[in-house]
Amino acid sequence: MSETPKPIEYRGNCHCGAFKFTFKTPPLEQGLTCSCSICSKNGYMWAIPASNEDLTVVKGDENALKSYHFNKGTLAHKFCPTCGTSVMARNSDGKCLINIRALADVDLWSLPVRLSDGAATGPPYNVPAPVEVRDVPEGSTVYSGSCHCGAVGYTLVSPEKITTATDCDCSICSRDGALWIYPQTSAVTFKGLDSLVEYTFGTKTTFHGFCKNCGVAIRERFDPPQSSGTALNVRTINGLDLSTLQLEKEDGKSMLPPYEM
């Protein structure tokens, strides 16, 4: 019989550092992804502790994280209310799941994933109503998107179909699990921006917007405007089959100052 690998200690934190923790587990050999509505919008990569004792909070308070519930409310999805990092989820029985994206020193691009078809179980997701737009140019493709709870929504009128998206490995994008496209700002009609929290750091020229209720990352706003474009997270486009997209890797980690926390 082969020996069980010895646990190692991973460090984790939300991006702003208000919440820090350690997580003991055998070396991570794969992450668990899920096709359900909230997991796909957040791009979660789950690790499941063998015991709650394997998780230790070293800074902050789990109760200070924002909790989002839906359907039967048996699972609390917990994210930082300041920076939007989705850190963990906890069942009503107390068992927790750790979002691998919040861990330090894990190469997400090389980590194999196992897909769970959560969309096939449980009640169907009630897709929020699209944001109405007028005067759609002939030949355009209209995409409707939203956070999970529906407080923030948008409609994108695109001159062409979406076939590619950018997967950036910088400290914030990798935590958000975002997949970006860069349409013209004028092509996007938003609603509910009063429910959008914006987080910025570093040079403070990019504002990362997430829903204050459910934590889903929706857009990046650039200020001062570098161009007439904005960034949209295609994970939030309702009905878009992400498996059909060509993902372009962007090594944002090497292009930006080192992230330290």
pLDDT digits (tens, 9 = 90+) for 162-192: 999 999 999 999 999 999 999 999 999 999 9
Residue 224 pLDDT grade (very low, low, confident, very high; cuts 50, 70, 90): confident
Task: Give per-residue burial for 203-229: e unless 16+ CB within 10 Å, then b.
Answer: eeebbbbbbbbbbbbbbbbbeeeeeeb
Residues 6+ apart with CB under 8 A from 200: 206, 207, 208
Q: Are strands 217-222 and 206-211 parallel, antiparallel or unpaired?
A: antiparallel
pLDDT surpasses 90 at 32:
yes
How far apart (Å, rounded) are the C-alpha atoms in residues 145 and 153?
6
How far apart (Å, rounded) are the C-alpha atoms in residues 201 and 234?
23
**What's 14's DSSP letter?**
-
Share of the chain above pLDDT 90, in %: 85
Residue 196 belongs to what H/E stretch? strand 196-199
pLDDT surpasses 70 at 215:
yes
Residues 6+ apart with CB under 8 A from 157: 133, 136, 137, 140, 141, 142, 187, 188, 189
**pLDDT tens, residue by residue, 99-156:** 999 999 899 999 999 999 999 988 899 999 999 999 899 999 999 999 999 999 999 9
Confirm if 175 and 87 have CB atoms less than 8 A apart: no
Residue range 141-253 in CATH 2.170.150.70: yes
Pick the CATH number of 8-119 from 3.30.1490.190, 3.10.20.740, 1.10.468.10, 2.170.150.70: 2.170.150.70
Confirm if 180 and 31 have CB atoms less than 8 A apart: no
Domain segments of the chain as ranges: 8-119, 141-253
**DSSP three-state, residue 231:** strand
pLDDT surpasses 90 at 260:
no
Residue 169, CA distances (Å) to 20, 100, 121, 178, 244 in order: 20, 14, 31, 10, 21
What pLDDT, on the 0 to 100 scale, is given for residue 50?
A: 87
Share of the chain above pLDDT 70, in %: 98
Confirm if 46 and 100 have CB atoms less than 8 A apart: yes
